[in-house]
Chain A
Amino acid sequence: MKEFRADLHIHSCLSPCAGLDMSPRNIVSEAKRKGLQMIGICDHNSAENVPAVEKNAAREGITVIGGMEVTTREEVHILALFGTHESLFSLQEIVYENLHGTNDEKLYGEQVVVDEEENVLGFSDKLLIGATEITIEQLVALIHERDGLAIAAHVDREGFGIVGQLGFIPEGLLLDALELADPSKRDSIRQAKPLPFISSSDAHKLEDVGRRSTKFWMETADTVEIRRCLSGMEGRRMRI
């Protein structure tokens, strides 16, 4: 088994609330500096900067897991991580169909779509900070239909965390893992059925990349192997 240090929840300059210096190139060089082997790019309700991060990361030998941080109808943040562009962008299409409103850059910030050379391709005018009309159960099903991982984001935070919004983790919700902003809070999360924990930075600023991470011991750096790690399959394991 190989060891991979992963920060699976990083925003890029596409998220209105993230720094404009969160460009694909900067994210990758910061990840390299912090000793990460895997990074997840999860902008709010969009994945448009994933390809540019991937191209930069490939040169540095860092694996990118393409994802999104989707806001459900209940205003719960769920990380959706995928192994293929096809899966990722087909979910993005559904998210866009269920996301209403137009961004106001003055109020919420700019939503910059860039290429791997940091050329600005455009500005998303969608209200990425908003909530979709997709229920949490529907979202988890849509992610699983596409072989993705559904991870409840920052469950230890009140705002937009599943426990804060819904009081407790709904019975029968087929999440793959729970993400902690602070790994020391793991015992404070009450669960009917224990789910594995990951920890990640939720970085909106460059210096926060890799501030939290999860170590995976697995064969290859991909979502299939992460899923195996989460269930401790065949000697694979993980630690936060």
Chain B
Amino acid sequence: MKTLQDIADALKLAVSTGGDLLSCRTVTGGYAGDMLSDVLAHARKGQVWVTLQTHTNIVAVASGKELCGIIVVNGRTPEAATLQKAEQEHIPILVSPLSSYDVVARLCELGVTNREGV
């Protein structure tokens, strides 16, 4: 199974926060969504979350759902308050210049999917 470090390397992601956590975070799958209510309802523990949202609430959602980390897309810059909260909650945040579509496609190529038992 891949770690967040493997994914960060393969997708050349910029590390916004939580760089020291990447190699010990095992990625069990992935979820993509920009409506946080939907992510709360459907994301599962251990998944990496792909989103364009940068509000501090993304940290609370990732922490509450025990997601392994967040990939922010389209090169968006997470707010300072978000990074601070992420550090406190030990949630790695990575940034890609690519769109959600391309990030998810790359993740699937690496075997990180949303299907159970993969």
Q: Are B37 and A158 in contact (CB under 8 A)?
A: yes
| Chain B residue with the shortest CB-CB distance to A76 | B55
Q: Are B79 and A167 in contact (CB under 8 A)?
A: no
Q: Are B37 and A165 in contact (CB under 8 A)?
A: yes
Q: Are A74 and B55 in contact (CB under 8 A)?
A: yes
Decide if the interface of chain A is mainly helix, strand, loop or mixed. Answer: loop
Q: Are B36 and A166 in contact (CB under 8 A)?
A: yes
Q: Are B57 and A135 in contact (CB under 8 A)?
A: no
Q: A74-B53, A135-B55, A170-B57 are in contact. Are A165 and B79 (CB under 8 A)?
A: no
CB distance from A155 to the nearest CB of B (A): 11
Residue A181 at the B interface, CB < 8 A? no
Question: Which residues of B pack against A, CB within 8 Å?
Answer: 34-37, 39-40, 53-57, 60-61, 79, 81
Q: Are A167 and B37 in contact (CB under 8 A)?
A: yes
| Chain A residue with the shortest CB-CB distance to B79 | A135
Contacts of A137 in B (CB 8 A): 81
Contacts of B79 in A (CB 8 A): 135
Q: Are A164 and B35 in contact (CB under 8 A)?
A: yes
Q: Are B56 and A165 in contact (CB under 8 A)?
A: no
**Contact for B55 among A158, A163, A166, CB less than 8 A:** A166
Q: Are A158 and B56 in contact (CB under 8 A)?
A: no
CB distance from A165 to the nearest CB of B (A): 6
Q: Are B57 and A158 in contact (CB under 8 A)?
A: no
Residue A78 at the B interface, CB < 8 A? no
Contacts of B54 in A (CB 8 A): 73
Closest 8 CB pairs of A and B: A167-B36, A166-B57, A164-B37, A167-B40, A166-B36, A74-B55, A167-B37, A167-B61
